[in-house]
Structure 1
């Protein structure tokens, strides 16, 4: 866990007002540690992502929730796909072959 002052000192261009607003707007989730707000390593990474979106890519503040939600969905989808692929690989050769056959016959959405 990292306290907010430490995070501000480690992230270029980040100020306390932005960090407090992102916590208030639930873009990041702070936990209490020793009576003060602190962020997990995952939430610290999210702060760095938000800073990159805001300051490097000029994503508007009002757009951040949409972009972050889409990124969260993509991350969740990748995790589910990984779990599914592991489940398929654990099956016998007949089942794996049938799954691969079905995937090879599927047409991409943009091809009709």
Structure 2
């Protein structure tokens, strides 16, 4: 877990004022501690993504929530598909084959 200044030192492309703005906007949602916000690995990845979107791709602020929402939905769907694949894999072989066959029917 990193504090704000540690995040800025780790992700050198982000300024402290940008990080604080992104947190206020809810684009990054760090945990709160007695000393202020603390950022985990997922938060750091989100900060790096925001650097790519805002600085490298010049994405306007108005578009950021839409893009983040879509990316969050994609990650959620990937997680659900992984869980579904695990549930299918846990089934007996004949059930797995029936599911695969039903899935491949157009």
Q: Does the alignment reach a TM-score above 0.5? A: yes
Runs in 1 of length 4+ with deviation above 3 angstroms? none
The alpha-carbon deviation at position 34 of structure 1 amounts to 3.9
State the number of aligned residues.
Answer: 106
SS of the residue corresponding to residue 78 of structure 1 reads helix
Q: Which runs of 5+ in 1 are unaligned?
A: 107-112
Q: How does 1:56-75 map to 2 (within 5 A)?
A: 56-75=56-75
The answer to whether the aligner puts 1:48 opposite 2:48 as a matched pair is: yes
In 1, distance between residues paired with 2:104 and 2:79?
22
In 1, distance between residues paired with 2:85 and 2:30?
33
Deviation by residue 1:79-109 (Cα, 9 ceiling, x = unmatched): 0000101111111122111111111113xxx
Give the alignment's Cα RMSD to 1 decimal. 1.2
Quote the residue 1:24 is aligned against: 24
The alpha-carbon deviation at position 62 of structure 1 amounts to 1.2
In 2, distance between residues paired with 1:71 and 1:46?
11
In 1, distance between residues paired with 2:99 and 2:58?
42
| TM-score of the pair, normalised by structure 2 | 0.91
The alpha-carbon deviation at position 35 of structure 1 amounts to 1.9
Quote the residue 1:96 is aligned against: 96
The alpha-carbon deviation at position 74 of structure 1 amounts to 0.3
SS of the residue corresponding to residue 61 of structure 1 reads coil
